[in-house]
Amino acid sequence: MVTNIQLVEFVKKALSENWGYCLGSFGNILTPAFMSQKMKQGYGVGEYNTKHKTYLQKFLNKRVSDCYGLVKAFVWWNDGNVKYIASQDRNQEGAFNAAKEKGPISNIPEIPGLVLWMKGHAGIYIGGGEFIECAGAPTGMFKGKIQNGKVVSGSKFTHWFKDTYITYVSAPKTATVPVNEKIKIDLNGKKKEIIGYSKENVIYVKLNNQDVALRTFAEMLGLKVEWDNTNKVVMLKC
C-alpha cells in the first residue's frame, strides 16, 4: 500500500533534489542512452525532448520526470530504482478519468496528496495551500500556491482528484509545544513539571533520562517515546 502522505514526502524529496523535466520519463536517471531513447520516441515525445536537448544535457546522470511521471515514479519506486509496470502506465488524462473522487480547484479539500489537474498537466497538492509540480522544460520542479480556491503561483490547475493508485489516509496530527514551555503533568496525584520545545513534528523534552512520567505524557498526546542519546533528550514523536 502506498499512501498520499508518502506521496507528499516523495515529491518534496524530488523538489529538493531538483529533478529535471523530460517528457515520457518517471524518475529515471538520465543516462546518455536514456536521453537518446527519449529523443527518438514517437507521439511527439522525441520532438519535444530534442527541442530541449540543451536543457536536458544539464541533467545527465540525474533524475528526470514529466508531470504525472512524479506519481508513476512514486508508485513504481523500488529501493531507489523505478520498476516500470506496463499495466499501470497512463498519463494525467487517464488518471483523471479513472478517478472516482474529483472536483474543481475552487473547492479543493485539505487533503495532502491530491493530484491537481488541467488539460495536459498534473501536480501534487502537499497541503497548506501549496503544491509541487514538474513543469515543462526549462522550468522543471516548482512549488506553487493556491489561495481561496485559486492558483496564485504555478500552473493554472483547474481540478483536483484522488488518484486510484494511491491509498488516502488522514495526516498524522502535529503536536506542538511552545519553545521552553513549562509543561505540568499529574502522575497518580504527584505533579511534575518538565521543560519542552517543538521542532517540526517532534517534541523534545529536556530530561537526564527516561522515566514513567514521560511515558504518561506521551500517552496523553498519542506520541511515541524515543531517547536521543547524542543530545540527551527525550523525543516525543507523532
User: Which is nearest to 67 in space by CA: 39, 104, 94, 87?
Assistant: 94
Is residue 185 located within the same domain as residue 140?
no
Structural domain boundaries, residue 69: 4-161
User: How many distinct structural domains can be found in the chain?
Assistant: 2
pTM, two decimals, is 0.73
pLDDT, tens digit only, all 238 positions of the chain: 789 999 999 999 999 999 999 999 999 999 999 999 999 999 999 999 999 999 999 999 999 999 999 999 999 998 889 999 999 999 999 999 999 999 999 999 999 999 999 999 999 999 999 999 999 999 999 999 999 999 999 999 999 999 999 999 986 554 444 445 555 545 455 555 555 555 544 555 555 454 555 555 555 655 566 665 555 555 555 4
Are 100 and 185 part of one and the same domain? no
Q: Is residue 172 domain-resident?
A: no
Query: Which among 105, 126, 161 is the end of a domain?
Result: 161
Same domain, 188 and 149: no
Pair (85, 191) in one structural domain: no
- Cβ 20 vs Cβ 63: under 8 Å: yes
C-alpha cell at 131: 503544491
CA dist., res. 133 & res. 111, Å (int): 16
**One domain for residues 186 and 156:** no
Q: What is the 3-state secondary structure (H, E, C) of 45-86?
A: HHHHHHHCHHHHHCCCCCEEECCCHHHHHHHHEECCEECCCH
